[in-house]
Amino acid sequence: MKSNIASNLYCVGLGMLLVSGSVMAATEYTGDKIQGVPVITQLDVSDLAAGKMHRFMFRSTETSIGQYWYVPVMVAKGAKPGKRVLLVAGVHGDELNPVAAVQETFASLDPSKMTGTAIGIMGASGQGLQNITRTWTINDLGGTQINPNRTWPGREDGNTVERHSWLITNYLIKGNVDAAIDHHTGGTGTDFAKFIFVYADSPESIALAKLFPTDQIMLDPGLPGTFEYALVTNGIPTVTTELGGSRTIVPEMVKMGVDGNANVLAHYGLIPADPKRPTSADTGVFIGNDLESVSAVAGGFVSVKVKPNDAVTKGQTVAVQRNGFGDIVHTYKATADGRVAIVGTDAASERGSEIVTILVNRESCTGGQCDYGTAEE
């Protein structure tokens, strides 16, 4: 595993090409079609017909049986040139609200009336979506599980997941994107509040985060390997949304993504602004800079006493745990004042299982006090 310093250097070294690299080659077609959709190995939005909606299957790396993974891509290219905004879903395969949010956003767009280009990646982790899992399992020594959102911007000579990320970075994103939204949910076994991670040192990214009708925003220090970090540290404003829980499609959470997407597109002039569309100004958003996790210290059945976005105070009971006879073996308390960001949904919990995670706002984050902790992303 690379150190953070090494990861940062690699990310910057490769990522500078995302915004200042050589001129993109033309979109490259293989000549194949999947479900009637043309297959490409490289995208250059500048050579696509204006005022139209385009669909592609992006051919990525090979599977263990020598076939390819394909990523659905949509491009709404406006009638007039302008900013290019990327919407991403499915980096984790068990996170389905984001897929619906991106799909609904593109269904609402009319490229003939747009100024600029919207790009949608609907399923960035094909294997994860196929299996409805957070991780991507590669056939290495009997199977190794990899978190796809710790592999960006990828490696040309890396394992399957790292190369997949590298191909998307270099042949879909490079030269095509001015801003990006990476949509997520809590992983299997957790439920997230309406939440956004945003890099604390990127004012433009923070402005984008506030355009979503979210309940919570975390000003984070950045986590090397995440999609957000790979882009934002190389000049592309990016935020990571968390749209509730996993494995289901919940209209309320999808709507947060759809409304926020539209507000971001309007912010960059792609579509008209709608003053009736909600933002964080309408939600009483809580802004924090650290996460405090309450984890199980024993095995047993956990009853959580709080919900996502509940306000809590230090010392407040957030959960109780019982053994097989129903005896209380532990009472869990909030470790700080703040808002409940994540709730564990697996009642049968073992030592170390995540029970509740609280977003807090510390006065100072000096000396490494503030970190991602057990943040999902």
Q: For 186-232, what is each residue's pLDDT tens digit?
A: 999 999 999 999 999 999 999 999 999 999 999 999 999 999 999 99
Asked if 46 and 186 sit in the same domain, the reply is yes
Domain range for 171: 4-282
pLDDT at 15 over 70: no
Collect all residues with Cβ–Cβ distance below 8 Å to 351 and sequence separation of at least 6: 296, 297, 298, 299
Question: Does the residue 333 lie in any domain?
Answer: yes
326 CB burial (10 A radius; 0-12, 13-18, 19+): exposed
How many distinct structural domains can be found in the chain? 2
Residue 140 has a pLDDT of 84
Q: Quote the longest CA-to-CA distance of the chain.
A: 68
Asked if 118 and 253 sit in the same domain, the reply is yes
Asked if 120 and 142 sit in the same domain, the reply is yes
Domain boundary among 251, 282, 313: 282
CB atoms within 10 A of CB 141: 6
Asked if 262 and 307 sit in the same domain, the reply is no
Helix (H, G, I), strand (E, B) or coil at 353: coil
Query: Which string of DSSP letters, residue by residue, matches 43-100?
Result: --GGGSPTTEEEEEEEEEEE-TTS-EEEEEEEEEE-SEEEEEEEEE--SSTT--HHHH
Query: Which string of DSSP letters, residue by residue, matches 103-166?
Result: HHHHHT--GGG-EEEEEEES-S-HHHHHHT-SSEEE-STT-EEE-GGGSTT--TTS-HHHHHHH
Residue 169 DSSP code: I
Mean local confidence (pLDDT), 255-273: 98
Question: How many whole angstroms separate alpha carbon 350 and alpha carbon 345?
Answer: 13
Domain boundary among 232, 249, 282: 282
pLDDT at 142 over 90: no
Question: Does the residue 35 lie in any domain?
Answer: yes
Task: Name the percent of the chain lying above pLDDT 90.
Answer: 86
CB 102 within 8 A of CB 122: yes
For residue 329, what is the domain's CATH number? 2.40.50.100
For residue 67, what is the domain's CATH number? 3.40.630.10
Question: How many whole angstroms separate alpha carbon 238 and alpha carbon 230?
Answer: 9
Asked if 221 and 353 sit in the same domain, the reply is no
How does 158-189 read in b/e, with b if 16+ C-beta sit within 10 Å?
Answer: eebbbbbbbbbbbbbbbbbbbbbbbbbbbbbb
Asked if 214 and 322 sit in the same domain, the reply is no
Domain boundary among 235, 250, 282: 282
Question: Does the residue 370 lie in any domain?
Answer: no
Higher pLDDT, 273 or 3: 273
Mean local confidence (pLDDT), 26-31: 97
Q: How far is CA 126 from CA 1, 76, 90, 228, 292, in A?
A: 24, 22, 8, 19, 32
pTM metric for this prediction? 0.92
Asked if 327 and 216 sit in the same domain, the reply is no
Asked if 216 and 270 sit in the same domain, the reply is yes
Mean pLDDT, the chain, as a whole number?
Answer: 92
Question: How many whole angstroms separate alpha carbon 121 and alpha carbon 101?
Answer: 11
Residue 327 has a pLDDT of 98
Question: Does the residue 372 lie in any domain?
Answer: no
Question: How many whole angstroms separate alpha carbon 172 and alpha carbon 119?
Answer: 9
Asked if 321 and 278 sit in the same domain, the reply is no
Residue 349 DSSP code: E
Question: Does the residue 137 lie in any domain?
Answer: yes
Question: Between β-strands 354-360 and 290-295, what pairing exists: parallel, antiparallel or unpaired?
Answer: antiparallel
Instruction: Give the length of the chain.
Output: 377
Question: Does the residue 368 lie in any domain?
Answer: no
Asked if 269 and 295 sit in the same domain, the reply is no
Q: For 109-134, what is each residue's pLDDT tens digit?
A: 999 999 999 999 988 998 999 999 99
pLDDT band (50, 70, 90) for residue 288: very high
Question: Does the residue 375 lie in any domain?
Answer: no
Question: How many whole angstroms separate alpha carbon 110 and alpha carbon 258?
Answer: 15
Question: Does the residue 227 lie in any domain?
Answer: yes
Asked if 143 and 267 sit in the same domain, the reply is yes
Asked if 245 and 346 sit in the same domain, the reply is no
